[in-house]
A = this chain, B = another copy of it.
Amino acid sequence: MPPSDPPLLTATRAYLRLVDFARRPHDLAAAGGLTPERIAGMRARACGIDLLYATERVTPEVLAALAELAGETGAVDQFRQMLAGGVMNRIDGFESENRRVLHFATRHLFDDIPDRPGAVLPQDAVEAERRELERVAGFVAGIERGRVANARGEPFTDLVNVGIGGSDIGSRALYLALQPWRCPGRRVHFLSNVDPDDAARVLRLVDPARTLVNVVSKSGGTLETTANQRRLIHAYRSAGLDPARHFVCVTTPGSALDRSAEFREKFHMFDYVGGRFSVTSAAGTVALAFGLGMDVLRDVLRGAREMDLASLELDLRSNLPLLLALLGVWNRNLLGLPTLVILPYSQALSRFPAYVQELDMESNGKSVTRSGQAATWHTAPVVWGEVGTDAQHSFFQQLHQGEAVVPCEFIGFRESQFGEDLAVAGATGQQKLNANLLGQMLALAVGKSDANPNRRFPGNRPSLALIGQRLDPRMLGRLVALYQNKTAFQGFLWGVNSYDQEGVQLGKTLAGSLLPRMVPGSGSAGATDGGLERALLEAAGMLPEASGSKP
């Protein structure tokens, strides 16, 4: 525990100044509100990503106060402490997980990217992660060389990743994002939901005899993952196959999964890696290495490591995660905007908004500070999003003319992934895509007057853009770490513990209390008298005697 915590958000001097600035925030739609000089001046760059923020409602004074806020709350210091093994996953004075936060170790693997002074990661974690990555590499090499094969000696063509939340969303988003890099003849499928239709769907897509199953559960006891694991084991046995030849797992040492004899190989993740930050650990690397190969995976990790190091910069202009976090605090806490929309202009990033949503909302959707006090300020906004240009033909009507103002984060790339494009009417698809991205930023900012009130655009709606050259594996790794580390910085600014998730427990408990009442013949159970549970099941037509009686 550090000797003294930094001041909380609203107790900083910078915050008081920001409150004052927020009374008359910069008006982007006013005459001179957005100029070429402003656009040229308000940008930052790190790891090959340009951040354009002239279309946020900030001034140089606001930016200076935000930088001061970062200083007063010790944001970069706390980040450095975290990398050095500080116990950042804690609630002082109360029972909590009390763990280090070291997903950074999972990408600390490159001798040519030197550590920064004062930012040396704990050696135990670095060594454990290197070892696990080598084991993953060995496993994948075994598949390639035929050492890891099915009972008939045939190579595995498919892998079903069984996991949910942190053991699914990130891996799925990254796998989808890198389809041009897929290993020929290999496919990864993701099975997450306890909905039996999800397993039924996946089982129709694969030939079990040629398919590996990767069960990913940090605790080893996740309800959905266990149910799907049993379901797949049943399917393998029914097909006359030995599950132990096809199943591998990723879990923490000593968990129920880890003790089981049902796996041909077990990979480890460790308690210092939170689920939603685990995509660069074995929780993500087994599926990604199978589907994309080790070289691609290493490039992802390299990109993430580069952004981790950039996150130690004190200058906002080269620390994109910190700048993004501060602009987010300005929009959420000072301008009072309750949501944030993530808009990748890249079909490959179709599930990236869902990953950022999980990162932000599960980490910082909290109302208690790390010292156990009530947080009396706004914390994580509702984060949502879809890809552009598609989103322009869906909810953009509201972004432009609705009464609610939604800050937008655009993500774009100068080049396409496949490099296959066709000029139609003189312009390529990539040029049209990017013209639309930038056109939306301008339209949101400057608006348009019109004699017809229904064709008027108020403008003055904030946005920013992250622009990279091309969404290749390294760029993707940088983006992943950019949003992970932005989340970390916002946690420090808001003073919350971003690394636990106590809020998911109560629903689980109540589901456990409802379930025995739904299962014919089983006795009722639960800590409560069950009156509410029974009434709700009755109303939903889900009591055993009512089951099937409603056509």
- Asked if A125 CB lies within 8 Å of chain B CBs, one says no
The distance in angstroms between the C-alpha atoms of A396 and B166, with both chains bound, is: 13
Q: Give the most central of A169, A393, A433, A539: most B CB within 10 Å.
A: A393
Q: 5 A-B contacts, Cβ less than 8 Å apart? A: A95-B452, A164-B393, A168-B393, A357-B394, A439-B511
Residue of B nearest to A445 (CB): B532
Question: Of the 9-residue stretches A8-16, A207-215, A223-231, A479-487, which lies at the interface with chain B?
Answer: A223-231
The answer, yes or no, to whether A234 is at the interface (CB within 8 Å) is yes
The 10 A-B residue pairs with the shortest CB-CB distance, nearest first, are A365-B398, A165-B393, A439-B511, A365-B402, A36-B535, A196-B429, A401-B503, A439-B510, A200-B418, A384-B384
Q: Least Cβ distance of A26 to chain B in Å? A: 16
Shortest Cβ gap from A51 to chain B (Å): 10
Q: How far is the CA of A278 from the CA of B197 in the complex (A)?
A: 28
Contact between chains at B542 and A94 (CB < 8 Å): no
Are A40 and B539 in contact (CB-based, < 8 A)? yes
Proximity bits, A391-408, B CB within 8 Å = 1, else 0: 011111111111110100
Interface centre among A168, A361, A366, A428 (most CB of B within 10 A): A361
Among candidates B338, B394, B436, residue contacting A169 with C-beta atoms closer than 8 Å: B394
On whether the beta carbons of B91 and A361 are closer than 8 Å, the reply is no
Does residue A378 face the partner (Cβ distance < 8 Å to B)? yes
| A258, CB-defined interface residue at 8 Å | no
User: Is A1 an interface position by the 8 A CB rule?
Assistant: no
- Tell me whether A420 and B196 are in contact (CB under 8 A): yes
The answer on a CB contact under 8 Å between B503 and A438 is no
Report the bound CA distance from A432 to B516 in whole Å: 10
- Of the listed stretches A75-83, A109-117, A136-144, A342-350, chain B binds A342-350
CA distance A427 to B227 in the complex (A): 10
Q: Is the CB of A436 within 8 A of B507?
A: yes
* Beta-carbon contact of B502 and A401 below 8 Å: yes
* CB–CB B40/A416 < 8 A: no
Is A379 in contact with chain B by the CB < 8 A criterion?
yes
Question: Whole-angstrom distance between the alpha carbons of A542 and B372 in the complex?
Answer: 48
Stretch at the interface among A246-254, A307-315, A453-461: A453-461
Stretch at the interface among A64-72, A145-153, A187-195, A281-289: A187-195
Whether A196 lies near B428 (C-beta < 8 A) is yes
Least CB distance from A386 to B in Å reads 7
* Cβ–Cβ < 8 Å partners of A354 in chain B: 386, 394
- A446 contacts B by Cβ under 8 Å: yes
B197 touches A416 (CB 8 A): yes
Least distance between A134 CB and chain B CB atoms (Å) = 29
Which A residues from 416 to 455 make CB contacts under 8 A with B?
416-418, 420-422, 424, 426-436, 438-443, 446-448, 452-455
Docked Cα-Cα span, A489 to B195, in Å, equals 32
Residues of B within 8 A of A256 (CB): none
Of A99-107, A265-273, A322-330, A543-551, the one contacting chain B is: A543-551
Q: Which residue on B lies nearest to A469, using beta carbons? A: B550
Check: A50 CB closer than 8 A to any chain B CB.
yes
Task: Report Cα–Cα, A503/B510, bound state, in Å.
Answer: 44
